[in-house]
Structure 1
């Protein structure tokens, strides 16, 4: 039984609590069952750093009528509940999640997380690059890069392919094989 959720954030500024988009891809029994994306009005609104806009293309006017992280967290938390969380460059996404929870005064869930870069490095040794785009190209996965829902889903697909390559079929095997890489939120 392989259950996890892949998560991705896009941010409006360098501040970790400035999520302007969140995507979650839910995997149950080794199958993707749902991907959900939320545009989020960040605390910095209406300010967005031009460099961040250059990366993801999300502008203040795209989120002006969107809910805040505070308003979408309970729905997101229900999707993630009890799951291992996986993200590509997980330190960034876990940091955005932690900072957003802190900013709005939410308790952090007791959740383990893992970086899909570490999973990929264990599965496919000696690749020239382990970025999400490079890994997606390597596995003929097309997606809209730097949009949270697409990035979360490709992260899930790459993780599933890596687990398959490593012959991992259950969450307890993930923890055994990746033990040094599993962190707590």
Structure 2
């Protein structure tokens, strides 16, 4: 399996307000790298108190951080040519689209898959499918609502789900889960 797991934290409810992104790269079913960037959002210095209460990132934490357009090429290079997986992927894909649109940047052709859908298919008996609940179920400890940690846990849960579904290659993902794969 080759894929990247991605997670965004946002400063406000605006989809272009990414204040942190984490990317976890999986090659040959092994996590090889996780990288996190703090991002100065377009709303800076304004952050919704609700969002801060979720992730704990304050305006002061990002005052010297690059903007999304300044880090996108590095992020895109890490993700190049792989399937993107995210937990609640419609949110993360929406944030990615929102950031690209805000900066007038080209939207790449990326296939993405939601790890919630993978988890529901793999463990259809669980009462909840949030990242925290799945991590607890699989005894994975992490710092929830920080982008790098969330992306890495998403990757770990996805790998466990692929294993449970006997999916061992990206081709099998496309064959077995084609209705679940979306385009950015």
| Structure 1 portions without partners, runs of 5+ | none
Which residue of the partner structure matches residue 144 of structure 1? 143
Relative to the length of structure 2, the TM-score reads: 0.99
How far 1:177 moved relative to its partner? 1.4
Which residue of the partner structure matches residue 67 of structure 1? 66
C-alpha distance in structure 2 between counterparts of 1:75 and 1:55, whole Å:
26
C-alpha distance in structure 2 between counterparts of 1:96 and 1:6, whole Å:
14
C-alpha distance in structure 1 between counterparts of 2:121 and 2:170, whole Å:
16
Residues 76-124 of structure 1 show CA distances to partners (whole Å, capped at 9, x for unaligned) of 0000000100000000000000010011111111010000000001111
Q: How many correspondences in the alignment?
A: 184
Pairing 1:32–2:40 present: no
How far 1:178 moved relative to its partner? 1.0
Which residue of the partner structure matches residue 98 of structure 1? 97
Secondary structure of the structure 2 residue equivalent to 1:153:
helix
How far 1:29 moved relative to its partner? 0.6
Secondary structure of the structure 1 residue equivalent to 2:148:
helix
RMSD of the alignment, in Å? 0.4
Which residue of the partner structure matches residue 156 of structure 1? 155
Relative to the length of structure 1, the TM-score reads: 0.99
| Structure 2 portions without partners, runs of 5+ | none
Secondary structure of the structure 2 residue equivalent to 1:129:
coil
Which residue of the partner structure matches residue 127 of structure 1? 126
How far 1:59 moved relative to its partner? 0.2
C-alpha distance in structure 2 between counterparts of 1:152 and 1:97, whole Å:
14
Moved over 3 A (4+): none
